[in-house]
Structure 1
Amino acid sequence: MTAPRYDLLCIGNAIVDVIADTDDAFLAEQSLDKGSMRLIDEAEAVRLYDLIGPAREVSGGSAGNTAAGAAALGIRTAFVGQVATDQLGTIYRHDIEAQGVAFPVAARGDVGATARCLVLVTPDAQRTMNTFLGAAQQLDAKDIDLAAIADSAIVYLEGYLWDPPGPRAAMEAAIDAARAAGRKVAFTLSDSFCIARHRDDFLRLIDQGRIDILFANEAEICELSGQSDFDAAVADTAAKVVTLVVTRSEQGAVAVRGGQKASVAAEPIERLVDTTGAGDLFAAGFLAGEAKGLSLDLSLRLGAIAAAEVIQHYGARPEADLRTLAGALL
């Protein structure tokens, strides 16, 4: 097998995070529940955007965050997601490429507007999120560069993107191309609500042996397995995949591969600020370790380091130098 062009290729929702300061009065005027997340349509996204003050616009989305974290660790990384031929689509491409992530997907003019999450931050640090999924949900199988998939050591898929039929078909095609090329397929369950909607599909992928590395948190692994006991849920699922990785917030994480089980404690932090992106960055660290051929224990440690960095500031992208934090691990 030839050496891959990318160590990691991530597929997911291409969402621009629009982060703006606001106050409680504005939230009350707009009938927004502080700290909540709601899905909105394009008209509401435009209306709110026109009302907010100066904002910081950053490429986001779960798999996009993982791609950015892996690139920060020195991993050759690509991201596949759909944006439109509009201002935010241009911003998304510029931002993610500036972080060292290849973005081999053309913007399209027939997919509506680029997805965005309007994140309103009040003085008490609460984040109220308003998400318009737009073009991100229009990724099509024909837009997937199957040669790039086959040229990636690990292909990582985001469960959030499984809802619409187009992106679902695109991810199924990517899985098939990766497996035909002898590459690894990693999948994150993303959210318990995703599992509630697509449990049969996710179990089908697992039972067919199409997933090599499965990521979940404690609630998700119990939801998927139907087991209320954590250890039973892990044992049940680990028997069906090559590698299972389960995060447990402040209790660290565990991974199982064959007969080997490893665990890692959560990294010590100075102050918990924002848990957004913790799972995404944990996956980035673990997958970077896999790409580098590290042991299960060291890959878990790298994931814990990346997750600890991102929860000590606002936003889901690393601000400190992850390669410095990783030290001798890399």
Structure 2
Amino acid sequence: MAAAPTLDILGIGNAIVDVLARAEDGFLAAHGMTPGAMALIDAAQADAIYAAMGPGVESSGGSAGNTCAVAAALGAKVGFLGKVADDQLGTVFAHDIQAAGVSFPTARLSGGAPTARCLILVSPDGQRTMNTFLGACVTFGEDDVDEAAVAAAAVTYMEGYLFDPPAAQAAFRRAARLAHAAGRKVAISLSDAFCVGRHRDAFRAFVAEEADILFANESEILSLYETESFEEATERARKDVAIAALTRSEHGSIIVSGAETISVAAVPTKVVDTTGAGDAYAAGFLAALTRGLPLAECGRWGSIAAAEVISHFGARPQAELKALVGV
């Protein structure tokens, strides 16, 4: 009999400092950016874009980091593994995520690449365009998977963006093996349709072989299974994982588990900035799931958390999420 978990959720992902600023479409065009996409950039590009951006808001970010912070705000016991450098932005990240109530045991990188940053430009319609310099993130490998933390967590949650750095895929598989050996669950978010396209075979194998819970939006799940039919993609996901939670923006989400299919309505809100919507949905879902709540309620928590996060600038909650979900 496995010991009771001491963590509800352990996130593993890119430890990134988010820098958010508003930008007009002309700015994106001038810098050759595809609106709404996430592009990987080098240190020189990061410096140039950062210098040209308007005033920004800086906070610990990264997809799984955002999920961890939102889940902690909902009362879940949360930890996070990810690599930052021993520099100023590394200190910003560590302070910020720990202040959100998330334990962060990963050792810092010294003498190598600087801490990762994601330069996020938010268009007037709320769409986000992301430019990510991975920096120290890419050094996250198997040795950084904290065995005790994985064994202690009811769910180990991994972000798809971590498929870009090569060492991290091996780390994911090690974390999944450790989680299952301890009788725990493994969740993955696909993160980005372009990221899925870059690593489709590896993603498909991981989802089918290692994942228990899958999070994806419509474009990501269509990319994973190379289909234009959301219904077909949903059925493929149903076969691959025990639970799939598939989000469709203002159309809410579909949850499939075994023979069960649950439709969850989106929570109406004024969209200010879509950064972190999927991260927040996963947080709400997992915070409810690890409390033992039914899947429909998990979806409701996810929708409420996502609606709160997109109603203001930045990917971290500003309202009292516990009050919003009713706990």
The alignment's TM-score, normalised by the length of structure 2, stands at 0.92
Counterpart in 2 of 1:225? 225
Counterpart in 2 of 1:158? 159
In the TM superposition, what are the counterparts of 1:233-312 in structure 2 within 5 Å? 233-269=233-269, 271-312=270-311
Distance in 2, matches of 1:263 and 1:63, equals 24
Counterpart in 2 of 1:9? 10
- Larger radius of gyration, structure 1 or 2? 1
Q: Point out where structure 2 has 5 or more consecutive residues left out of the alignment.
A: none
Compute the displacement of 1:136 (Å). 1.3
One-letter code aligned to 2:7 = Y
Task: Find the residue that maps to 1:239 and give its secondary structure.
Answer: helix
Instruction: Calculate percent identity across the aligned residue pairs.
Output: 52
Deviations 1:244-263 (A, max 9, x none): 11111111101111122111
Give yes or no for contact 1:156–1:185 (8 Å, CA) kept in 2. Answer: yes
| 1:93 corresponds to 2:88 | no
| 1:171 corresponds to 2:172 | yes
Give yes or no for contact 2:128–2:275 (8 Å, CA) kept in 1. Answer: no
Give yes or no for contact 2:128–2:274 (8 Å, CA) kept in 1. Answer: no
Distance in 1, matches of 2:124 and 2:232, equals 43
The 3 A distance-change label for structure 1 pair 218 and 21 is closer
One-letter code aligned to 2:160 = G
One-letter code aligned to 2:295 = L
Compute the displacement of 1:52 (Å). 5.2
Compute the displacement of 1:206 (Å). 3.1
Q: Point out where structure 1 has 5 or more consecutive residues left out of the alignment.
A: none
Q: Which moved more, 1:253-262 or 1:128-137?
A: 128-137
Compute the displacement of 1:316 (Å). 1.1
Compute the displacement of 1:22 (Å). 6.7
Distance in 2, matches of 1:183 and 1:28, equals 43
Counterpart in 2 of 1:119? 120
Counterpart in 2 of 1:322? 321
The 3 A distance-change label for structure 1 pair 34 and 140 is closer
Compute the displacement of 1:169 (Å). 1.1
Give yes or no for contact 2:81–2:144 (8 Å, CA) kept in 1. Answer: no
Compute the displacement of 1:207 (Å). 3.1
The 3 A distance-change label for structure 1 pair 29 and 240 is closer
Equivalenced residue count is 325
One-letter code aligned to 1:251 = H
The 3 A distance-change label for structure 1 pair 198 and 45 is closer
One-letter code aligned to 2:82 = G
| 1:132 corresponds to 2:133 | yes
In the TM superposition, what are the counterparts of 1:135-214 in structure 2 within 5 Å? 135-208=136-209, 210-214=210-214
One-letter code aligned to 1:142 = D
The 3 A distance-change label for structure 1 pair 118 and 227 is closer
Distance in 2, matches of 1:312 and 1:295, equals 26
| 1:74 corresponds to 2:58 | no
Task: Find the residue that maps to 2:313 and give its secondary structure.
Answer: coil
The 3 A distance-change label for structure 1 pair 8 and 196 is same
The alignment's TM-score, normalised by the length of structure 1, stands at 0.91
